[in-house]
């Protein structure tokens, strides 16, 4: 990238946002906005047709979360540099984006100069994360990475149970829905509470909303 422009693709389901930002980015002489995408599928098509350096990705996407999508994409395109954009700048999001292999994170509340900074850092092979949060995140993250990656691995089945509870279902309703006994549900629920550190059902609901497991 020392020669030529940084080739980038943006994916965001909000056309307003997408066009607005790409308009701004196009003014930069060192960038080339190859294309923009609204859906994961569009993005896949674009990636298979173009050579791309950087993808700017909204975390909340239709169909699939940006986190999941980036994990998949990085298997196919290991050299791809992904910068996440998110309206929600909670630490949990940033951690998730790191785990997913993201190279940068920019809250949507940031000034647009920060987007440029992020792109240039990341295109140059560096990481870019919000300075205010970088310190505490790296400290906390690095020290607890082992524990957390173990702990926060919610299994598929647990996720189903979690979704049921977040939708307000009772044990009996879940029994019928998933065809497992109340005891098994108890077991999964306990595991979920332990892994994710919930102390009330309300925590569970909030988590499910934050992580797009259920609709608000």
Binding site for its own copies (CB under 8 A): 13-17, 19-21, 23-24, 85, 87-88, 90, 108-112, 115, 165-170, 199-203, 205-206, 209-210, 215-216
**Interface with DNA (CB under 7 A), residue from 80, 134, 137, 180:** 180
Closest CA to 66 of 114, 132, 10: 10
For its own copies, give the closer residue by CB, 182 or 210: 210
Contact of residue 180 among its own copies, DNA, none (CB under 5-8 Å per partner type):
DNA
63/164 Cα distance (integer angstroms): 19
Residue 186 contacts DNA per CB under 7 A: yes
For DNA, give the closer residue by CB, 141 or 193: 193
For DNA, give the closer residue by CB, 60 or 148: 148
Residue 157 contacts DNA per CB under 7 A: yes
Residue 18 contacts DNA per CB under 7 A: no
Q: Tell me the DSSP string of 29-42.
A: TTEEEEEEESSHHH
215's CB contacts (< 8 A; 6+ apart) are none
4 burial (CB, 10 Å; 0-12 / 13-18 / 19+) is exposed
Contact of residue 189 among its own copies, DNA, none (CB under 5-8 Å per partner type):
DNA
84/97 Cα distance (integer angstroms): 7
């Amino acid at each position: 990238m020392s020669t030529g422009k940084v080739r980038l693709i943006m994916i965001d389901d909000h056309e307003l946002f997408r066009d607005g930002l790409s308009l701004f980015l196009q003014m930069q002489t060192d960038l080339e906005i190859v294309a923009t995408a609204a859906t994961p599928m569009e993005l896949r098509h674009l990636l298979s047709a173009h050579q791309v350096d950087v993808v700017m990705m909204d975390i909340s996407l239709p169909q699939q979360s940006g986190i999941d999508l980036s994990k998949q994409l990085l298997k196919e395109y290991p050299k791809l540099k992904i910068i996440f954009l998110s309206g929600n700048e909670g630490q949990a999001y940033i951690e998730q984006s790191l785990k997913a292999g993201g190279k940068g994170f920019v809250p949507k509340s940031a000034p647009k100069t920060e987007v440029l900074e992020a792109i240039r850092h990341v295109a140059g092979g560096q990481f870019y994360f919000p300075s205010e949060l970088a310190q505490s995140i790296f400290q906390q993250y690095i020290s607890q990475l082992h524990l957390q990656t173990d702990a926060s691995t919610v299994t598929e089945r647990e996720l189903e149970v979690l979704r049921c509870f977040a939708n307000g279902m009772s044990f009996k309703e879940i029994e019928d829905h998933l065809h497992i006994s109340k005891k098994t549900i108890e077991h999964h629920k306990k595991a979920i509470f332990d892994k994710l550190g919930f102390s009330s059902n309300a925590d569970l609901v909030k988590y499910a909303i934050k992580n797009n497991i259920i609709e608000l």
